Amino acid sequence: MSDLPSRSEKPWLTIIGIGEDGPDGLGEEAKRLITGAPVVYGGARHHALMDGLISGERRVWQSPFERSVEDIVAHRGTPVVVLASGDPFLYGVGATLSRRIGAGEMRVIPAPSAFTLAASRLGWPLQDAAAISLHGRPVELILPHLHDGRRIIALTSDENGPAAIAALLTGIGFGRSRLTVLEALGGERERVRTVTAAEFALEGIDPLNVCAIEVVADKAARIISFASGLDDALFEHDGQITKREIRAVTLSALAPRHGELLWDIGTGSGSVGIEWILSDPSLKAIAIEQSPERAARAARNATALGVPHLALVEGAAPAALAGLPEPDAIFIGGGGSEPGVLEAAIAALKPGGRLVANAVTLEMEALLLSEYAKRGGSLARLDISRAAPVGTMSGWRPAMPVTQWRWIKDQE
């Protein structure tokens, strides 16, 4: 953030959103700025669209992209134009550049985004649809949005994106969903085609496309609920899982807040870390697991439940905690009684952060009782019984009781 100047700085960076209609979609000011710029950044496609306007040096995005960002920052104070697709601040380059360059240094001329154009073609109120970017990102990110009747607009990476979405939908019980592929919106090559996911056979799809989905769920569709405490059957596990009722209480105790990071120590199946991320797109989690088999299983669960960005650290705490980003909240579900684990977690937690630890063994319970006596917080005993067959009848079969300690670290 040290690169950001005050808003009193004179704008030197101009970010111009362009569409497939090229210069025809631009106003006179945008055209003048492009023509007069000594340096113009953008993709090869952007330069080709603006070929008749650019008179300065053309610079194509480098890989990794951060190299181009550094290059632009090095021009601070001299005129630079950046060409972007549509709205530069909706999954665009403007959002990236704004992390290094203050708003007072920028002049931004946006164009309609691909999401806006798609909604206008379909007659969908944009505020009622889920707008997500799958550009360069796992297609599984769409999974939490798959609810019957939901409308989704997804930006894809290339011509293979629509088929990948259709295959995913079909494989988990959403094959009757209507999939509309909108190609090269706003340009001469614009085309709109609709098919059900199960019958997807479109060919010759333009690499620049957006997929609009009208979700239809079959009876056996795999729907990810908005509530905490997802069905245990949604997770692959070997018994090492925080059961749904306990998990719901645990997530409530962890109390996720916008933008926070969770450490899930002894993650097992990954269920708590996964549900933490599902609470809000801004949330992140690091799952720590010493068993390679369980760590791989947690990764599979994260992908299957639409949060493939769950970070996994394979190793035993407390050693595996060294060097990790400072957490806002910590859950200890396994291995907490090992020497040094609880102490390391408490030391790493941000001031004002929450720590929740669950115990099913007497050894871990004794440790939590000791910490409660020493540090305070709150202590609860959670007992769950489930109906089960008893001969020809039914009765209550108790699960192992869980002792839960919740503690908030003092503000410094």
H helix runs in 196-305, sequence order: 244-254, 271-278, 292-304
In the predicted model, what is the mean pLDDT of residues 163-188? 97
- Of the pLDDT bands very low, low, confident and very high (cuts 50, 70, 90), residue 335 is confident
Output the pLDDT for position 337: 86
In the predicted model, what is the mean pLDDT of residues 129-140? 96
Q: List the single range of 9-13, 16-20, 210-214, 402-406 with lowest mean pLDDT.
A: 9-13
CATH 3.40.50.12780 is held by the domain 232-408: no
Rg over CA atoms, the chain: 26
Output the pLDDT for position 3: 52
Angle between helices 244-254 and 271-278 (to 10 degrees): 50
In the predicted model, what is the mean pLDDT of residues 77-89? 95
Output the pLDDT for position 336: 84
Q: State the Cα–Cα distance between residues 262 and 182, nearest whole angstrom.
A: 38
Nearest CA among 44, 19, 46, 14 for reference residue 29: 14
Q: State the Cα–Cα distance between residues 411 and 113, nearest whole angstrom.
A: 43
CATH class of 13-111: alpha beta
Q: Distance between the two ends of the chain, CA-based, in angstroms?
A: 23
Q: Where are the domains of the chain?
A: 13-111, 115-214, 232-408
Percent of the chain at pLDDT exceeding 90: 94
The mean of the pLDDT values for the chain is 94
Q: What is the dihedral of CA 255, 261, 263, 268, to 10 degrees?
A: 80
Over the stretch 253-293, which tens digit does the pLDDT of each residue have? 999 999 999 999 999 999 999 999 999 999 999 999 999 99
Domains 13-111 and 232-408 belong to one CATH topology: no
**Ordered DSSP codes for 146-209:** --TT-EEEEE-SSTTHHHHHHHHHHHTT-TT-EEEEEESTTSTT-EEEEEEGGG----S--SSE
Over the stretch 352-396, which tens digit does the pLDDT of each residue have? 999 999 999 999 999 999 999 999 999 999 999 999 999 999 999
CATH architecture for residues 115-214? 2-Layer Sandwich (3.30)
**Burial of 3 by CB count in 10 Å (0-12 exposed, 13-18 middle, 19+ buried)?**
exposed
- Please say whether the beta carbons of 355 and 406 come within 8 A: yes
Report whether pLDDT(6) > 50: no
Report whether pLDDT(4) > 60: no
Over the stretch 24-68, which tens digit does the pLDDT of each residue have? 999 999 999 999 999 999 999 999 999 999 999 999 999 999 999
In the predicted model, what is the mean pLDDT of residues 92-98? 94
Report whether pLDDT(9) > 80: no
